[in-house]
Amino acid sequence: MLILECPYCGVTGEETEFHGGGEAHIKRFGPGSSDADFETYLFMRENPKGVHFERWRHVNGCGKWFHAARCTMTLEVFGTYSAQTFEPPKEIKDAISAKRPGWSWREFS
Amino acid sequence: MRRYSAFAVAREAARFHSGWERAWRSPAPKKKYDVIIVGAGGHGLATAFYLGKNFGITNVAILEKGWLGGGNTGRNTTIIRSNYLQDPSAALYEKARSLYETMSQDLNYNVMFSPRGVIMLAQTEHEVRGYKRTAHANMLQGVTTEFISPARVKELVPIINIDGPRYPVLGGLWQARGGTARHDAVAWGYARACSDMGMDIIQQCEVTGVRSSGGKVVGVDTSKGAIDCDKLGLVVAGNSGDLANMAGFRLPMESVALQALVSEPIKPCMDVVVMANTVHGYMSQSDKGEMVIGGGTDGFNNYTQRGSFHHVEETVRALVETFPMVSRLKMLRQWGGIVDVTGDRSPVIGKTPLGNCFINAGWGTGGFKAIPGGGWATAELIAKGEPGPLSAEFGMERFIEGRFIDESVAAGVAH
Amino acid sequence: MSELRSALAGAVFDGIAKVQEAGLCGMIAFRGDLSATKVKNAVTGVTGVDMPGQRGCNVGGDNGLAWMSPDELLIMVEHDKAELVLETLAKGLKNQHYMAENVSDARAVFTVTGKHAAEVIAKLAPVDMSTFSVGEIRRTRLAQVPAAFWMHGENAYTVVCFRSAADYMFGILSMAAQEGSEVGVFG
Amino acid sequence: MSTRLTTGGARIARNKPVTFTFNGKTLKGFEGDTLASALLANDQMLMGRSFKYHRPRGVVASGAEEPNALMNMGEGGKFEPNQRATTTELFDGLVAQSQNHWPSLEVDVGVVNNAMARFLPAGFYYKTFTFPKFAWKHVYEPIIRKSAGLGKAPTERDVDTYEHFYFFADVVVIGGGIAGLQAAKTAALSGAKVLIMEQDPAWGGRAVVDGGMLGEVPAADYVSALVAELEGMDNVTMRNRMMGAGVYDHGYVTGYERLRDHAPEMAGPRHRLWRIRAGQIITATGAIERPLSFAGNDVPGVMLAAALRDYLVMYGVSVGDRVVVVTNNDDAYRTAIAVKKAGLDVPVILDARAEGGGAIAGEARALGIRVENGKAIAKVTGGKRVKSVKICAQAGEGGVLEEIECDAVAMSGGFSPVVHLWSHCGGKLTWDEEHAMFRPDAERPPKGANGEGFVVPAGAANGVLDMGVGLADGDHAGRLAVEALGLKAADANLPAFDQAVEAPLAEVWMMPQGAGPKLRAKAWLDYQNDVKVSDVQLAAQEGYESVEHTKRYTTLGMATDQGKLSNINGLAVLSHALDKPIPATGTTTFRPPYTPISMGSIAGEARGDVFQPLRRTPMHDWHEANGAHWEPVGHWRRAYCYLQGEETPHEAVSREILATRKSLGLLDASTLGKLIVKGPDAGKFMDMMYTNMMSSLKPGKCRYGLMCSENGFLSDDGVVVRLEDESFLCHTTTGGAERIHAHMEEWLQTEWWDWEVYVTNVTEQWAQVGVVGPNSRKVLEKLGGVDVSKETLAFMEYTQGKLGAFDARIFRISFAGELSYEIAVPASQGAALWDALYEAGEEFGVTPYGTEAMHVMRAEKGFIMIGDETDGTIIPQDLGLNWAISKKKEDFLGKRAQKRAFMDNPERWQLVGLETTDGSVIPDGAYCVAEGDNANGQRNVQGRVTSTYYSPTLGKGIAMGLLHDGPNRMGEVVSFPGTDGKSYEAKVVSPVFYDPDGEKQNV
């Protein structure tokens, strides 16, 4: 039973207040994109063992979407941050590096 | 290998069972095999078994990082059914179900297949229509099912509450030859048979890399050294993403934890398997008397095989409402298993971007019931290098084409 | 004017705490740039209470402002004033991108009062009631439905949920307040 | 025989007698007794039958680890099976029955299995019962199931209530023994908010039983002082009768509080499940004594030494007059001494250790007790109770040296720390050679949200068995916990104490060590599941070498006690058989809960009326009072139809349809979702959300819109109204409001966050009524107010204003194909509006109709229904809705997806109307067959029915369906085989059966 902190309303709540939204930082491909790009966008997932970036919504709360950096092996949460960004902020990356030196995820590390 | 029989047991009794042999050998890995199967779970062992039985390929190693049958094969709620809606699923699961019918004899190992019948409750008008549709589809697929009345449901499951108030039972989809089997025995039976065919089951042997040359697989690196092979089968529920990464490709899958629990054992009170999909509760009674209960999956990627509480709460809530007597039973044990879920909730059996490397994965919550069928289809795929009719629709290319196999359309049925 | 009905017409349950449906309250869901002075002036103007900060809830009589999210407020006024207030806001916020919708009738409001009121809520909401205090609003779930609550006095809580869930909310609050169910850990 | 002594019994109130019944017999006990102690006091040594062999069994322990004494407890709606007699507090009127026997506890036919035992070794069922094929299900399985299963199944609905409670604490201490109490004190003194829970009704644990001094103070007094001190602290919450059930990720703990099990008649919930979030958790859960594996160690009267001592000291119960003590450690001597001091006889202490015990052995001898070192039990004789023990040398193979008569045996094989809660969330263990035990490995604790350890073991649970040292360890644990929370640990000034000098324990996993097959086959490891030493050895021999394999093959540790007594003994036997050290053999995983917890407590308040939220519209009461036949739609309740008199639902639906088409019908449409989309970029946003062009819609106009998922599939539909230039009202399907609202917010927040658009869900602000039928305009005009004439309010237009007394929004839209209006008023006016419309409509024979009539009428009209024509695999193109897909727009959700090979494809089935040639109704869900079979031997199909009804308007069966190349096959007859054996022949026609030119709705 996870606890997460919503970066928008500052509530640290239990999992049942939130709704998981799958992998974060996925680029949308629309009309005109290649079949492969579109498949990747909709279906292909990192699904890593270890550091992962994912989307959550504070559904029983302020209703905002946010991102979390979490380890899928230990469930350790490195931090949560705004969903309105294209990549994890520096302080989040630093927090991960402190715990998981040499980590990498897609183009981030 | 000595046959198992009541007579053999009696004979051994006379000498305090000192004469029983190992059920399977535990050899050191050879330098090279024709086929390496990664994963000694139900699907992996069944794949190896049918490679030998149907195609005479026995120079096979099955590599297991832990102990055989220790993944989802040993953690599921053992439900077996084939009342699926879509043709490809129905074909695959019915093949599996029919193989379960004779598995104990085929393997000379009692897997306790118990065709006690499976009911899926219809508790909304929408579900009624959905299950009637499935019944019509099954009729044309050669799967024997029947849409039954609330009265018949009550007759089959005396402990059920069909009057609601919240969700009165409006009927049910009944598969009389669905049921359960002893999950560990399925893995052990296949393992014993594979070992007997001369295949090497290598436990405590973790694959750490996939070696390839010229776009084709040539072997794997393991915790017990490098092993070569001509063909590689990845059959590692819960670890598929990891193995795919080693082999250099991604999958349309995510791994999540599926929750399950059992009650304390009580005297027989429910002789069939009941699935209540509207409220998300699945329950059957084991031969030991435990009520075996399936829960939901966590909504996030997770590789810990731990139970989490709120899913159990949701499931138990549903069962207390559907079977009021459950309220005064006790939860004995809860646990989680890691399942790979695909974009359309249906499995993948097919080729991969890497030559001679094949995959069987993405069973979500439905893997156990499919073991013999999945093994059969995967063996055919590996032996011929091309999918046969059973797996033809289950290749990964379907996600590019938008050709999904979506079972949830039949009233949101969970597998 | 036709006869107005709140969801449960003031239903009451008395147990280890008193649970009561509070009848109709004026409520406006307001969304906009809460940092804009224009907005602050408009919403404080129509309610006469201070602008709340993050998770803050300022109530004065029937009026109040509750912080719902970084771009959302709940404006509370008398039920029959809501439409008027909307017009006032419209005047005050001309050419400003905002949204204000009357949701008075979309909500059901309950009060939970008495020595064990906090315990009743702690049986249903995954919230630390031992540290919850006046001036805060908490949006969360009560059992299986989304809800929000705040304190309107000593051992006195206001709980808001969707109108259609009023019956359920009254049911679970009453059950949590049943005789003999004191926990005895707060205060 | 076992009996109540005239003195002793710290826990019982001899002045408060209690009456209870066991197997129908009325017996007496005292307040403070457990059911087990009271039964023993009545010489009820035999308490149950084992799972497999149905052997007679007595109580072997005194706490949560008890495997044998399980009861069917209570009656009717309070009946519960498998209740442990050792943790059941006695109360007046308690009714208990022993389990798993027929016809009676004394005479059990199932015991034949015992005689057959040799033929039923571990896993025998995997090797047999396979022929003939049908026999497993029909012959063998039923027999096996019947003989297994322990307690009876409850039959009646639970009459009790349950609840949850959310609690937060800095430090949660599980276990109220001396170590736990001290840990709580230290943490509390350091300023932490502390919760301490104890499963037992009393505090203090073993210290209270075993006595001894802590500094100048007797242990019992020290405990009372500690408890008093903690009770006085504001930052400490103390709960007894509350068990730490499970430890989950991120410091989540469940506490199982049994409020009424000891007083069933009191008001209030029976159990309360605490859902606790802890900063740090201290597991001070004590240790469990291990049995010794000798032949006949399961005969009633053979008991754990500490348990026998408990019954004597706490309950004043003597288990036997002559108690033989057998041990491999010093602790059991305490039992011998206690028995002797109680004036009973201890014929001999058999100490398996060649050098025997420490100081305490001398103490025993001084009391005149015979002590034999290096000796063991070869065999216990007796059936339903102990008759004698046969003594042998531990080093030998069991040659009998002497037989000693006795009626009880107290055994001790050492202690195992209760590491369950430490392990639930991944805490690792380390093997302690000296005490032959697994204890928590402080280096590898379970990790929390911040990646740091969040569980600290204390006292016996940490492998510290000495009382004084345990106290210090509790303090240490308290300090570690608060320091982990960043607090400064306060000094708890502990009393000076001298650690008892003990002789080392000797590992004894088989007694005697050379025991042959005969003896091994009678030496029990798992009492409840009847797993013997020989079974584990067989598993190893057959290659089931992993602990998990052995456990599953033999069922060792899988009984209701989850192996609390058997795990370590079994593991040791296995590691010997494999010739591997115990730590290398490993342990099985510990799963929550620690002991079984009631399903009722897990479900909490969610049962009956509040099982799930049931959403009601403002007019719900009227429907209820007027014959509504309900249908759940999501969490909503909607009237399927309104039953009058004796009519069937089918008749009611036909009546409602005909009356509506003829004159006037009313539909409660309040459940339709209503979302407001507002802002400068609203039009742009709407164009992305819908397949239609919405930005071109004029204010005051309505347009039917389609929504697709990004994967291309049709997900929702509804009428969109442009209220003002910058604001739209989007109607969604019933139950779709939350989903679509979330969908819109997701795109606004995570993809187009720079767009100036706000969305609010106003679904429940509005009560909405469909006023449908030729006379609908007349009714509205009768109410007066807004002009709803054809001229001012044309089809697909919207207006607002006063309608009679109501503040109304009026939409002239039609889902039935008649002249009709949808009237929305604030929910608080909903009931009144409904009444007013009903009253005004009476002269037109107004007829309220439900969801089914609505479905039929829309099908007659050829309108699609989300969930019927769509099922998550359907794209708008399949339904002939291309007209609703804007060609002008570059992009909208789903557009790219619909270009994929399998979607942009003429082979897809297309929507058509279907008319049976004989007027019958095609069954729901029927498929349209094609020639031949596919490669898997399945019949080929070319289409299916999506909606099929009897149309009262047309007096025949009509249907909509999807058909391969459908639109080009008008007039063709195709067949739909039904599960009823009939084949339904249907003509392919246009899906619009009623008023194709729309004359009725445009009047």
Please indicate if any CB of chain D lies within 8 Å of the CB of C140.
no
Task: Mutate one of C67, C139, C161 to test the A interface: name it (highest A CB count within 10 A).
Answer: C139
For chain D, positions 133-192, list CB contacts with chain C under 8 A. 161, 163-168
- Cα separation, D56 vs D49, whole angstroms: 5
Answer yes or no: is pLDDT of D52 > 90.
Answer: no
Q: Which residues of D touch B390 (CB under 8 A)?
A: 936
Q: How confident is the model at residue D2 (pLDDT cuts 50, 70, 90)?
A: very high
- Cα separation, D959 vs D925, whole angstroms: 11
pLDDT of the residue at C187: 65
Q: What is the CATH number of domain D3-124?
A: 3.10.20.440
pLDDT in tens, B70-103: 999 999 999 999 999 999 999 999 999 999 999 9
Please indicate if any CB of chain D lies within 8 Å of the CB of A20.
no
Torsion angle defined by CA atoms of residues B84, B88, B91 and B93, in that order, rounded to the nearest 10 degrees? -50
Provide the CATH number for the domain around residue C78.
Answer: 3.30.70.1520
Q: Specify whether B245 is located in the same domain as B260.
A: no
Q: Specify whether B81 is located in the same domain as B207.
A: yes
Q: How many domains does chain B have?
A: 2
- Cα separation, B70 vs D110, whole angstroms: 33
- Cα separation, B218 vs D711, whole angstroms: 37
Q: Which residues of D touch B283 (CB under 8 A)?
A: none
Mean pLDDT of D686-696: 98
Tokens linked to D729: 């009202």
Say whether C68 and A62 touch across the interface (CB within 8 A). yes
Q: Which residues of A touch B398 (CB under 8 A)?
A: none
Q: Which residues of A touch C55 (CB under 8 A)?
A: 9-11
Q: What percent of chain D has pLDDT over 70?
A: 100
From the list D762, D829, D832, which residue is nearest C106 (CB)? D762
pLDDT of the residue at D637: 94
CA distance B302 to chain A (A): 5
Q: Which residues of B touch D82 (CB under 8 A)?
A: 264-266, 330
pLDDT of the residue at D188: 98
Mean pLDDT of chain D: 96
| Residue D439: other Cβ atoms inside 10 A | 21
| Residue C59: other Cβ atoms inside 10 A | 21
Please check whether residue B273 is in contact with residue B180, taking contact to mean a CB–CB distance below 8 angstroms. Answer: yes
Gyration radius from chain C CA atoms: 17
Q: Which residues of B touch D150 (CB under 8 A)?
A: 264-267, 289
From the list C68, C69, C140, which residue is nearest A13 (CB)? C140
pLDDT of the residue at B412: 41
Neighbours of D, requiring at least 3 CB pairs below 8 Å, are: A, B, C
Mean pLDDT of C81-92: 97
From the list D251, D896, D901, which residue is nearest A33 (CB)? D896
Please indicate if any CB of chain C lies within 8 Å of the CB of D738.
no
CA distance A30 to chain D (A): 5
Fold for the domain defined by D507-588: Arc Repressor Mutant, subunit A (1.10.10)
- Cα separation, D375 vs D807, whole angstroms: 95
Let me know if residue B4 belongs to a domain: no
pLDDT in tens, B292-325: 999 888 889 999 988 888 889 999 999 999 999 9
Q: Is domain D673-764 given the CATH code 3.30.70.1400 in the classification?
A: yes
pLDDT of the residue at B305: 84
The pTM (predicted TM-score) of the whole model is 0.97
CA atoms within 13 A on the CB side of D823: 33
Instruction: Name the residue of chain D whose CA is nearest to C79's CA.
Output: D828
Answer yes or no: is pLDDT of B415 > 60.
Answer: no
Instruction: Name the residue of chain C whose CA is nearest to A18's CA.
Output: C140
Please check whether residue B39 is in contact with residue B236, taking contact to mean a CB–CB distance below 8 angstroms. Answer: yes
Q: Specify whether B188 is located in the same domain as B331.
A: no
Q: Specify whether B337 is located in the same domain as B324.
A: yes
Mean pLDDT of A29-39: 97
D130, D464, D892: which is closest to B9 by C-alpha?
A: D130
Answer yes or no: is pLDDT of D877 > 60.
Answer: yes
Say whether D896 and A99 touch across the interface (CB within 8 A). no
Provide the CATH number for the domain around residue B265.
Answer: 3.30.9.10
SS3 content of chain A, % helix, strand, coil (to 5): 20, 30, 50
pLDDT in tens, B103-154: 999 999 999 999 999 999 999 999 999 999 999 999 999 999 999 999 999 9
From the list C6, C144, C166, which residue is nearest D828 (CB)? C6
Say whether A23 and B309 touch across the interface (CB within 8 A). no
Q: Specify whether B32 is located in the same domain as B171.
A: no
Give Cα separations from D25 to D19, D22, D93, D265 (angstroms).
10, 5, 12, 22
Instruction: Name the residue of chain C whose CA is nearest to D265's CA.
Output: C180
Q: How confident is the model at residue D584 (pLDDT cuts 50, 70, 90)?
A: very high
The residue range of the domain holding C136 is: 12-23+106-176
- Cα separation, B332 vs D733, whole angstroms: 42
Tokens linked to B8: 């053999």
Q: Which residues of A touch D248 (CB under 8 A)?
A: 1
The residue range of the domain holding B245 is: 25-109+182-252+344-401
pLDDT of the residue at D730: 98
CB within 8 A of D465, min separation 6: which ones?
Answer: D287, D331, D415, D435
Q: Which residues of C touch A60 (CB under 8 A)?
A: 139-141, 146
Domain D162-287+417-484: which CATH number of 3.30.470.20, 3.40.50.620, 3.50.50.60, 3.40.190.10 = 3.50.50.60
- Cα separation, B411 vs D920, whole angstroms: 26
Tokens linked to B413: 């049925």
Please indicate if any CB of chain C lies within 8 Å of the CB of A64.
yes
Q: Specify whether C31 is located in the same domain as C97.
A: yes
Strand pairing class (D94-98; D13-22): parallel
From the list D451, D750, D891, which residue is nearest A74 (CB)? D451
CA atoms within 13 A on the CB side of D527: 32
Q: How many domains does chain C have?
A: 2
**Domain residues of chain D, as ranges?**
3-124, 162-287+417-484, 291-413, 507-588, 622-671+766-857, 673-764, 906-1003
From the list D269, D805, D829, which residue is nearest C181 (CB)? D269
Of residues D501 and D373, more confidently modeled: D373
Please check whether residue B336 is in contact with residue B328, taking contact to mean a CB–CB distance below 8 angstroms. Answer: no
CA distance D957 to chain B (A): 17
Give Cα separations from D756 to A67, C72, D555, D748 (angstroms).
22, 14, 63, 9
Mean pLDDT of D528-554: 95
Say whether C55 and A9 touch across the interface (CB within 8 A). yes
Mean pLDDT of D554-560: 94
Instruction: Name the residue of chain D whose CA is nearest to A2's CA.
Output: D250
Say whether A35 and B301 touch across the interface (CB within 8 A). no
Q: How confident is the model at residue D493 (pLDDT cuts 50, 70, 90)?
A: confident
Please check whether residue D303 is in contact with residue D60, taking contact to mean a CB–CB distance below 8 angstroms. Answer: yes
CA distance D187 to chain C (A): 18
Please check whether residue B308 is in contact with residue D249, taking contact to mean a CB–CB distance below 8 angstroms. Answer: yes
CA distance B226 to chain A (A): 23
Contacts B–D by Cβ distance under 8 A: 336
Tokens linked to D512: 């005697």
Let me know if residue C184 belongs to a domain: no
Q: What pairs with residue A19 in β-bridges?
A: A57
Chain mean position to CA D106: 36
Say whether A31 and D896 touch across the interface (CB within 8 A). yes
For chain C, positions 52-91, list CB contacts with chain D under 8 A. 71, 79
What single-letter amino acid sits at D889?
K
Answer yes or no: is pLDDT of D192 > 60.
Answer: yes
Q: How confident is the model at residue B410 (pLDDT cuts 50, 70, 90)?
A: low
**Domain residues of chain A, as ranges?**
3-99
Q: What is the CATH number of domain D291-413?
A: 3.50.50.60
pLDDT of the residue at B413: 39
- Cα separation, D189 vs D134, whole angstroms: 68
Answer yes or no: is pLDDT of D858 > 80.
Answer: yes
Tokens linked to D641: 């139809």
Measured in degrees and rounded to the nearest 5, phi and psi for residue D540 equal -60, -45
Provide the CATH number for the domain around residue B241.
Answer: 3.50.50.60
Answer yes or no: is pLDDT of D51 > 90.
Answer: no
pLDDT of the residue at B158: 96
Q: Specify whether C63 is located in the same domain as C154.
A: no
Give Cα separations from D952 to D528, D654, D1000 (angstroms).
65, 6, 17
Q: Which residues of C touch A17 (CB under 8 A)?
A: 126, 140-141
Mean pLDDT of D875-897: 97
Chain mean position to CA D759: 37
Order the strands of the A77-82 sheet from edge to edge.
Answer: A19-23, A51-57, A65-71, A77-82
Q: What pairs with residue C77 in β-bridges?
A: C26
Say whether A72 and B309 touch across the interface (CB within 8 A). no
Strand pairing class (D302-304; D408-412): parallel
pLDDT of the residue at D136: 85
Tokens linked to D95: 């009714």
Answer yes or no: is pLDDT of C142 > 50.
Answer: yes
Say whether C123 and D164 touch across the interface (CB within 8 A). yes
Please indicate if any CB of chain D lies within 8 Å of the CB of C94.
no
Let me know if residue B40 belongs to a domain: yes
Answer yes or no: is pLDDT of B186 > 80.
Answer: yes
Say whether D636 and C127 touch across the interface (CB within 8 A). no
Instruction: Name the residue of chain C whose CA is nearest to A58's CA.
Output: C140
B398, B389, B63: which is closest to B239 by C-alpha?
A: B63
Please indicate if any CB of chain C lies within 8 Å of the CB of A2.
no
pLDDT in tens, D95-137: 999 998 888 888 888 888 888 888 889 999 999 888 888 888 8
Q: Is D245 helix (H, G, I), strand (E, B) or coil?
A: strand
Q: Specify whether C111 is located in the same domain as C94.
A: no
Provide the CATH number for the domain around residue C171.
Answer: 3.30.1360.120
Three-state helix/strand/coil letters over D693-723: CCCCCCCCEEEEEEEECCCCCEEEEEEEEEE
Fold for the domain defined by A3-99: Folate-binding fold (3.30.2270)
Where does a domain end: C54, C80, C105? C105
Q: Which residues of D touch A64 (CB under 8 A)?
A: 749
Answer yes or no: is pLDDT of C1 > 80.
Answer: no
Largest separation between any pair of C-alpha atoms in chain A: 42
Let me know if residue B295 belongs to a domain: yes
pLDDT of the residue at B414: 38
Say whether A47 and B255 touch across the interface (CB within 8 A). yes
Neighbours of B, requiring at least 3 CB pairs below 8 Å, are: A, D
Q: What percent of chain C has pLDDT over 90?
A: 97
pLDDT in tens, D195-234: 999 999 999 999 999 988 898 899 999 999 999 999 999 9
| Residue D1: other Cβ atoms inside 10 A | 13
DSSP classification of residue D949: E
D916, D907, D999, D929: which is closest to D957 by C-alpha?
A: D916
| Residue D362: other Cβ atoms inside 10 A | 13
pLDDT of the residue at D685: 98
Q: Which residues of D touch B124 (CB under 8 A)?
A: 631-633
- Cα separation, D486 vs D484, whole angstroms: 5
Instruction: Name the residue of chain D whose CA is nearest to B158's CA.
Output: D155
Say whether D827 and C105 touch across the interface (CB within 8 A). yes
Task: Mutate one of D252, D760, D761, D803 to test the C interface: name it (highest C CB count within 10 A).
Answer: D760
For chain B, positions 105-164, list CB contacts with chain A under 8 A. none
| Residue A31: other Cβ atoms inside 10 A | 14
Domain D906-1003: which CATH number of 3.60.20.10, 3.20.20.70, 2.60.40.1930, 2.40.30.110 = 2.40.30.110
Q: Is B311 helix (H, G, I), strand (E, B) or coil?
A: helix
Contacts A–C by Cβ distance under 8 A: 37
Q: Specify whether B322 is located in the same domain as B358.
A: no
Where does a domain end: C77, C105, C133? C105
Q: Indicate the class that CATH gives domain D622-671+766-857.
A: alpha beta
What single-letter amino acid sits at B70?
G
Measured in degrees and rounded to the nearest 5, phi and psi for residue D750 equal -110, -10
Q: How confident is the model at residue D727 (pLDDT cuts 50, 70, 90)?
A: very high
Q: Specify whether B188 is located in the same domain as B335.
A: no
Lowest average pLDDT, out of B81-95, B290-304, D355-369, D826-840, goes to B290-304
